[in-house]
């Protein structure tokens, strides 16, 4: 699911960057999203979509890692870490 989300957000970003969504051009991200994603105070919708896509890519990587592990293997990720190797 996350892989499809990454593709969808990538297409959205492409459309935004190509000016196909003029109503979003320069539009400020909602305050709630700025706080949740820890974006800079003047973040735009473009910044927000980039952050969401990165998060989905991270989820995809983690899920694929776990899917390829044997039951007895140790979790390779540090608790509360938001970084992938």
Q: What is the pLDDT of residues 20-31, one digit of tens each?
A: 999 999 999 999
Query: Against a cut of 0.75, is the pTM above it?
Result: yes
**Mean pLDDT comparison of 36-45, 58-67, 68-77, highest-scoring range:** 36-45
Average pLDDT over residues 33-46: 96
Confidence of residue 17 (pLDDT cuts 50, 70, 90): very high
Percent of the chain surpassing pLDDT 70: 94
In the block, tokens 């700025």 appear at 34
**Residues 83, 28, 18: CA angle, nearest 5 degrees:** 80
């Amino acid at each position: 699911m996350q892989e499809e989300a990454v593709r969808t957000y990538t297409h959205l970003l492409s459309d935004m960057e190509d000016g196909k969504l003029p109503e979003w051009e320069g539009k400020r991200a909602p305050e709630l999203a700025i706080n949740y994603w820890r974006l800079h105070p003047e973040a735009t919708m473009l910044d927000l979509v980039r952050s969401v896509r990165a998060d989905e890519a991270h989820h995809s990587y983690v899920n694929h890692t776990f899917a390829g592990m044997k039951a007895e293997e140790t979790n390779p990720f540090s608790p509360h870490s938001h970084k992938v190797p």
